[in-house]
Structure 1
Amino acid sequence: MQIIIVGCGNVGTTLTEQLSKEGHNITVVDRDPMKAESVANRFDVMGIVGNGASFAVQNEAGIEEADLMIAVTTSDELNLLCCLIARKAGGCNTVARVRNPIYNREITYIKEELGLSMVINPEYAAASEIARLLKFPSAIKVDSFAKGRVELLKCRLGEGSVLDGKPLTYISGGLHCDVLICAVERGEEVFIPSGNFRLQEKDVISIVASSRKANEFFRKIGMTTNRIKNCMIIGGGETTYYLAKQLLPMGIEIKIIEQNKERCNELSELLPQAMIIHGDGTERNLLYEEGMPRAHSFVAWTNLDEENIMLSLFAKSVSKAKTITKVHRIAYDEIIDSMDLGSVLYPKHITAEYIIQYVRAMQNSIGSNIETLYQLIEDKVEALEFRVQEKSALVGIPLMELQLKENLLIACINRRGTIITPGGQDTIELGDTVVVVTTNQGFHDLKDILK
C-alpha cells in the first residue's frame, strides 16, 4: 500500500520501520529537515520537509495515489487538519493521533464529521494495556487473539521453579495443563521449542491459552494468580485518569500520588472514589506511610524514565506488588529489559502497535489474510493470526503430515469459538483462525508456513 506518515517522532519512526519492513511504500513528512532526512535515510523511504496539513506538501507526497494517511505529530489539531485535507484531496483512509481528553469525549462525532477511519488516544491505549496486565499478575506482557478468547502471555520463571529442568511434555503429562509454550528467551538466545525442550529457571516463556487455563497453569507452577485488590499509582496524568476509570468499577482500590496540587484537586473531582495524595511520589517515607509494602500492584507513571525505574525497583524490594513501569526512551530497551522491573510499557510502541493492527486489517480486505500480528520478541519472533478464507493445500490434512518451515509452531486453532491446542492429528478447516509463532519474517498468507 501507499502510506503517508506525518510526524517523525518516536511513533512515526516506529511505524515507518515496521510498515516499510512489511513491503509498503512509505513517504514521511516533517517540518524538521533533520528528522525527515534521518528517518528517510535510515529506512530507505521518501522524505519530505514541510507542513503535513499543507495541500501542496500533501500533493508532493502523492496524496492522490495514497491508500492511507497517518498523522502522528505532537499537535492534535494539526493531525485532524492533515486528515481532513487528505480526505478531500485524495479520498484515502486516515488515522489521527488525538490525545486531548476534551476531544476524547467527542471522538465519535469527530470521526463521523471528519470522515476519519481511526482515532488513537495514546493515554487511553496505555491505560487499557495496564488494565489487561493487572488481570494476570504473573504476566509481564499480555496480547489477545481470537477476539479475546485466547491470551498470549509472557512470564519469567523464578529461581527454584517447578519447571526448572523439565521438558515441555511435563506440562501436559505432569501438570495436566492445556497450555502451549510457543517461545523461550534465554539470555540473548530465542527458541521455538519442541516437546523435548528442557526449561530452566529465569527463562522468559511465552504461553498461549484461554484466560481460565492460563490462570490454572500459573497456580500449578506457584505463580501469583490472586485477584489484585488495590493499586498505587505515582503520577496523576491522563493515563492515570483513564486507568482509574477502568479499575474502580472492578472493585480495585486506587491510590494516586501527584505532586501538582491543582491536578490533585481536578482528580478529586473527576475520581471521587479514588484516594488522591498530594506529595512527592519519590519520597521513601511517603511511600511507606501510604502502604507501599501492602500494595498488590504498583504503577510508576511519571514523566521521567529514571524516576519510574527507581520507583519500580524500590517497590520490588519492599513488596510483592505487580509492578508496571513507563519508559519513553526506546534506545535503552536492552539495558532496561535486563532489570527486574516487572512489566515495562513504552507508550509510543503501544500507539504504533494499534495503528499497525489497523493497517493489517486494511490489507486483509485487499488480499492478505492476516487478522492480527504481534512482535512477541522485538525483531526476533512474531505471532500471527490467519483466517482460512479459501480451500488451500493445508485444509483437512493432519498437522503431522504438513511440511512446515523451520522455527515455526502452530500455537492455536479457533474453530467457531472453540479453542483447540493443536496436536499432530488435528487439521485446519475452512473458516478457522490459526495462530502461528515463528522467527521467520514477511508472512502474508497461511500457505507461507509451508516449505
Structure 2
Amino acid sequence: MRIVIAGAGEVGIFLAGLLSKERKDIVVIDTNEDRLHSINEKYDVLTVLGSATSIKILEEAQVKGSYIFIAATHYEHVNIVAASLAKKIGARRTIARVDNLEYIVSKNKRYFKSLGIDTLINPDKLAVDEIVMMIRQSASNEVFEFSKGDLTLFATRLNEKSQVIGKNLTESLKLYNEFEYRAILIVRDEKTFIPRHHDIFQINDIVYAVSSRKGLDSLMKISGQEKVKIDDVMIFGGSKIGELTAKKLEQHFNVKLVEKDKNRCMELSEILDKTLIINADARDTLTLKQENIAKMDVFISVTESSETNIFASILAQRQKVPKTITEVENIDFIEISKDLNIEGIINKKLIAASLITRYLIDADILSIKMLNTANADIIEVIARQGSIITKKPLAELDLPKSFIIGGVIRNNTSFIARGSTFIRPGDICVVLVLSDFIYTIEEFF
C-alpha cells in the first residue's frame, strides 16, 4: 500500500512516522532538502525533492496507483492543486489540508469533489470541536461521542474521592447495580492496558470508560468527579483556535480572551461580538489574578507554543480553576504534561491523523480517535456480514487482548457490550484498540 504525503512540516512528519511503523510504502514530497534529510534519518520512507504541484514530481513520487495522497503543506492553495492533480494522475483517494472554513461547509464540498479532492481537513476546526465537546462534558479530561451522544467515551484521573479505589472491575460494576458503563482502558505510570476482571483500580489511574447517557452520572460519582457548572471561560492565546473557540462559546458563556500581541487584539475585537479582549500575558500571575482567574470555571490555553500553554495551565490549576484545556502540539511534551497532571490535552496532529487513519483500514470505519494520553485508539466500526465478530457471543470468541468492545449501536438503540452480547451484521461497535495493533480490526470486523 503506497501512501504519498506532500509536505514535510509538522503534520507531514508526524504522519510519515506514524504510518511508517505499519510498514507502509511511504513517499514524502517537499521543496526543502533539509527537511527531507531529517525525515530520512528518522524513518524508513522515500523522499522526493520538489513541488507537489509539479506533474513531473508527482509522477516521480509514483502517485499513479497510490492508495492515498495526503496534501499537508503549509499552503492550502498548494494542497488543493496538488490533491487535484494527484487524483487526475491516478491516486485512489486524495486528502487536502485547508485553512479556509468556507471550504469545509457541507454545501461547498461538492466543488472540491469535482476537482478530484475526496476529503478536506481543517485541523483548527477539528481542535475547536474537541474543545467544545470537552466543555459540554466538563467532568471528563478527554471525551468523544458516538451516535449523537447515546454512547460517550469518558476519561478521568482517579482521586482519593473515587469509590472504585482498591476495587477490581467486577466489584466496581456492582456499586450501582447497573450495566450502563464499562471501563475499557487504564493508563498507569508508563503502562497502558485494557483492564480485566481481576485488575484493581489505583489512585492517579487515568481510566477511559464507555457510558450510555443513563450511566454518565453514576460513572462520575464512582470516579470521584463532579460536573462543573460553567459560566465563565478564559482563553489564553489569540490563535486561530482561540478565535474560533471564543466565537463558539461567547453565545453561551462569559468569555475573556487574553492575547499579548496588541495588533492581534485589535483584529479579534472586530471579529468577536461578546468576548472581552484583554491585551496581556497570561503567564503573569498578577495579570491572571487581576482578571479574576480564580473565579473562572474553565481555562483554555491555545497559544502557538506548547511550553507556554503548559506553563499557563499550571498557573491556572494553582488558582484552583476547576477545568483546564491545553493545546500541546509537541508530541514529546504530552507525556510530560500527563506527569504534571495537565488534563484536557488537545493535539491537532493527532486529531488530523485520526481522520486520515480511518481510510487506511480495510473495515467499515465511521470514526477514529487517537487518544491524547494513551497509546490507544477508539474506533466506531460497522460489523460486516459474515465477519468473525458476528459468529458467536463475545465471551465465546477467541478475541485478542489488544482490543475490547465497549458499546454497540443497533437500529438507533445503544447499549454497553457484555460477554453475552451477540454482535449482528450492521451493528456499529465502539472498539478500543491498542495503537500498535490497530489493523487487527480488519480480521474481526
Q: 1:309 aligned to 2:310?
A: yes
Aligned to 1:420: 415
Q: Which amino acid aligns with 2:14?
A: T
Aligned residues, how many?
442
State the shift of 1:195 in Å: 2.4
**8 A contact 1:183–1:192 mirrored in 2:** yes
Structure 2 unmatched ranges of 5 or more? none
Q: Quick one: percent identity of the two aligned structures?
A: 29
**8 A contact 2:212–2:416 mirrored in 1:** no
Distance 1:446 1:112 in 2: 28
Distance 2:240 2:285 in 1: 24
State the shift of 1:354 in Å: 2.5
Residues 305-361 of structure 1, C-alpha deviations (whole Å, 9 max, x = no match): 22211111111011233101122322333222211222122222222222323x24x
State the shift of 1:217 in Å: 1.5
CA separation of 1:376/1:331 partners in 2, compared to 1, >3 Å: closer, same or farther? closer
Aligned to 1:332: 333
Aligned to 1:204: 206
**8 A contact 1:160–1:201 mirrored in 2:** no
CA separation of 1:217/1:126 partners in 2, compared to 1, >3 Å: closer, same or farther? same
Aligned to 1:294: 295
**8 A contact 2:162–2:221 mirrored in 1:** no
Q: In terms of mean alpha carbon deviation, does 96-105 or 60-69 score higher? A: 96-105
State the shift of 1:160 in Å: 4.2
CA separation of 1:407/1:118 partners in 2, compared to 1, >3 Å: closer, same or farther? closer
Determine which of 224, 227, 230 is the counterpart of 1:225.
227
Aligned to 1:436: 431
Residues 186-217 of structure 1, C-alpha deviations (whole Å, 9 max, x = no match): 11222311223211111110101134522441
1:404-415 matched pairs, under 5 angstroms: 404-415=399-410
Q: Which amino acid aligns with 2:68?
A: L
State the shift of 1:92 in Å: 4.1
Residues 265-286 of structure 1, C-alpha deviations (whole Å, 9 max, x = no match): 3222221121112222222222
Q: 1:190 aligned to 2:192?
A: yes
Aligned to 1:235: 237
State the shift of 1:119 in Å: 1.6
State the shift of 1:22 in Å: 4.1
Paired residue secondary structure (1:302): coil
State the shift of 1:172 in Å: 2.5
State the shift of 1:91 in Å: 5.8
**8 A contact 1:386–1:446 mirrored in 2:** no
Aligned to 2:56: 56
Alpha-carbon RMSD across the aligned residues, in angstroms, is: 2.6
**8 A contact 1:373–1:385 mirrored in 2:** yes
**8 A contact 2:67–2:92 mirrored in 1:** yes
State the shift of 1:109 in Å: 7.1
**8 A contact 2:328–2:347 mirrored in 1:** yes
State the shift of 1:148 in Å: 4.7
Distance 2:199 2:187 in 1: 12
State the shift of 1:146 in Å: 4.4
Residues 350-402 of structure 1, C-alpha deviations (whole Å, 9 max, x = no match): 22222323x24xx5xxx533443333477843433331221244425222222
CA separation of 1:97/1:242 partners in 2, compared to 1, >3 Å: closer, same or farther? same
Distance 2:109 2:421 in 1: 43
CA separation of 1:318/1:403 partners in 2, compared to 1, >3 Å: closer, same or farther? same
Residues 50-97 of structure 1, C-alpha deviations (whole Å, 9 max, x = no match): 111111100101122223221111122221221232233336432111
Q: Which amino acid aligns with 1:173?
A: K
Distance 2:374 2:218 in 1: 31
Paired residue secondary structure (2:390): coil
Distance 2:18 2:8 in 1: 14
**8 A contact 1:140–1:343 mirrored in 2:** yes
Aligned to 2:379: 384
